[in-house]
Amino acid sequence: TMAYTTSDYFPFLVRQFHHETGWNECNSYATFCRASKAILDFSIPYGLSVSTGRRVGSNLSSQLVFSMIPSSASSIGYLAASRPLFSIMPAQTVASSDEQNLGSNGARAASFPSLAVPTQSDILSNPKADARDGKLSRQQQIQDELDSQDLLQNIRAGVWRCNWRTPDYLNRADYAGEYLAVAQLYPSLATITGSYVERRSATSELTISGVSVAGAQPDLQFIVQHAVDRRRWSSEGVFGTNGRLLGLRGLYNFGDSAEEKAVGEGAGRGRISAGGEVYFGAQEASGGMSVGMRYRDGQPLLSELTCVLNPIMGHVSLALTRELRSRMCAAARYDFNAFSLSSELAVGVEWQLDQNSIVKARWSDSQGLRCLVDTRLNNMVFSMGLDLHGDMATTPAATGIKRFVRSFGLQFQWFL
């Protein structure tokens, strides 16, 4: 399987779509270990690539990825949504927004504050729009200003926070019928990938993802997921055409959630969650399952402990994620297999040096050292990744720098 670099633009728009339609991505067993994986399993650029992402219409965005190494990874894609999504704001507008978000003590407000409700003059300034359209337009402008100013943090840093506060959480029926569709074409690979996301109701969401490959051996595969989020519990049914896979996931939260207290993430005492999944592949008559427990506390800093058990494979995974300071988070994970008696230890850290620089590093005794540096220059994000071998004895045929370096990559992303 060829490794290639993907752009952060479309994934950010999907997260923003979930945020604006009141869908909590973290209240699912699929993201049960999201905090530790964001620190320990981050990806790095491969080879050399340049990408651009821009909104070409109020509800349409485009993404172009030009990969020079490997050249076959170049792609072009479009994303359409039922509501306007992110649009980069001019520097002077962002600066003005920053001044407005400074409190009396000079401290900057949170990245995702409650969106301001427009005044009557804001709405009436466009006679062709009704009150609701005017409100959404003003809210979108405010959100775009904040997202533009914190561009690097939004697409890279703090994924472990799970802090996409869901607006109007108790009135999510307003978002029923909202949708998002995205397609990506890889000309050199004769491959098209795509996804369609739709809010079916106030508490449910449907996702259809697929990949189509043309050529001598054409192939078409789909994955259909239907998720239900009731805050206290969530469930998800999955069907995949590859192997005729059937799966079911579930999650239950004990105690009061931060959303129920209307304070945001990290409110009150810690919370325990339990979940599991079962799946069966009809084509090969094989199946699997896993169960997990998680304790998460956000006061005064984030702390999360997860334990996931796969009894069929005899695999146990313990992970601890701890926020050391406001812009630094560390994680450690220990994996053990009772059948083979093999084990692996991984540790990592993410450090946001300032508004425009982020450093990530992860080490494991089997995969070695991985480092990622992200830097923002105006509307461009530059990323440099390095992957070093864990055990040079496993690569005796390699000579020179290849004996130490598994991969190295550079990525330039422009958000227009």
- List per-residue pLDDT tens for the chain, 416 residues long: 445 678 889 998 998 898 888 888 889 999 999 999 999 999 999 889 999 999 998 899 999 999 888 777 899 999 999 988 887 765 444 444 444 443 433 333 333 333 333 333 333 344 443 454 555 566 667 767 777 777 787 777 667 666 444 444 545 667 889 999 999 999 988 999 999 999 999 899 999 999 999 988 899 999 999 999 998 999 999 999 988 899 999 999 998 654 454 434 444 568 999 999 999 998 888 889 999 999 998 778 889 999 999 999 999 999 999 999 888 999 999 999 999 999 999 999 999 888 789 999 999 998 899 999 999 998 899 999 999 986 655 555 556 677 788 889 999 999 88
Handedness of CA 131, 134, 135, 136 (dihedral sign): positive
Pair of tokens at residue 160: 């472990």
Angle between helices 131-149 and 91-100 (to 10 degrees): 100
Q: What is the CA radius of gyration of the chain?
A: 22
Q: How far is the CA of 4 from the CAs of 29, 49, 193, 195, 385, in angstroms?
A: 27, 9, 15, 19, 13
Location of structure tokens 């949504």: 81
Q: What is the pTM of this model?
A: 0.81
Picking from 38, 53, 108, the residue whose alpha carbon sits closest to that of residue 86 is 53
Q: Which contiguous run of DSSP H or E holds residue 295?
A: strand 286-297
What residue spans of 280-393 are helical by DSSP H?
A: none
29, 338 contact by CB (below 8 A)? no
Q: What is the per-residue pLDDT for 132?
A: 47
Query: What is the C-alpha separation between 215 and 234, in angstroms, rounded?
Result: 40
Q: What is the per-residue pLDDT for 129?
A: 39
Pair of tokens at residue 170: 């108790």
How open is the CA angle 298-299-302, to the nearest 5 degrees? Answer: 40
Q: What is the per-residue pLDDT for 404?
A: 82
Q: What is the per-residue pLDDT for 145?
A: 74
Query: What is the C-alpha separation between 38 and 356, in angstroms, rounded?
Result: 19
Q: What is the per-residue pLDDT for 149?
A: 76
Q: What is the per-residue pLDDT for 3?
A: 56
Q: What is the per-residue pLDDT for 124?
A: 38
Pair of tokens at residue 218: 């054409």
5, 73 contact by CB (below 8 A)? yes
Strand, helix or coil at 62?
strand
